[in-house]
Amino acid sequence: MPRTFFAAPAVLCLATTLGACAALPQPESSSEAPSSITAAVTESAPDTATAPVIAPASATSAVVATASADVAVIRPAAAAPPVSTPGQPRITVVLPTEPGAIKAAVQASVTRASKPAAVTAAATAQPVAPRALAPVKSRESGKGRTVAKAASPLASPDLWVRMRGRMALADIEHPRITEQLETLKRQPGYLNLFTQRARPYLHYIVENIDRRGLPMDLALLPMVESAFDPTALSPKDAAGLWQIIPSTGQEWGLLLAEGYDGRLDIHTSTGVALRYLRYLNQQFNGDWLLALAAYNAGPRAVQDAIKARTAEAAPVIAYPGLDTQPLVREVLATVDPADTTPVSQSLFWSLKLPKETQDYVPRIVALAHVVANPGAYGLKLPVIDNQPYLYRVDLTADQKVIDSITAAGIPLEDFSRFNPGFKQGVEPPARAYNLLLPREQAQTLVASAPGAQLVAPSRYTVRKGETLAAIARRHGVPSGQLAQWNGLNDRVALKAGQQLIVYPSS
Residue (of 497, 496, 480) closest to 488 by Cα position? 480
Q: Is the CB of residue 129 less than 8 Å from the CB of residue 279?
A: no
Query: What is the dihedral angle through the alpha carbons of 224, 225, 227, 232, rounded to the nearest 10 degrees?
Result: 170
Q: Where on the phi/psi map is residue 47: left (φ > 0), alpha (ψ -120 to 50), or beta?
A: alpha
Angle between helices 188-212 and 175-186 (to 10 degrees): 120
Cα-to-chain-centroid distance, residue 20? 43
| d(C-alpha 19, C-alpha 37), whole Å | 9
Give the angle subtended at the CA of 375 by the CAs of 374 and 379, to the nearest 5°: 65
Looking at 142-187, list the stretches that DSSP marks H as alpha helix, in order from N- to C-terminal side. 159-164, 175-186
Q: Where on the phi/psi map is residue 439: left (φ > 0), alpha (ψ -120 to 50), or beta?
A: alpha
| DSSP H/E element including 459 | strand 458-461
For residue 373, count other CB atoms closer than 10 A to its CB.
12
| d(C-alpha 40, C-alpha 316), whole Å | 15
Residues with a known catalytic role: 225
| The total number of residues written for the chain in this structure | 506
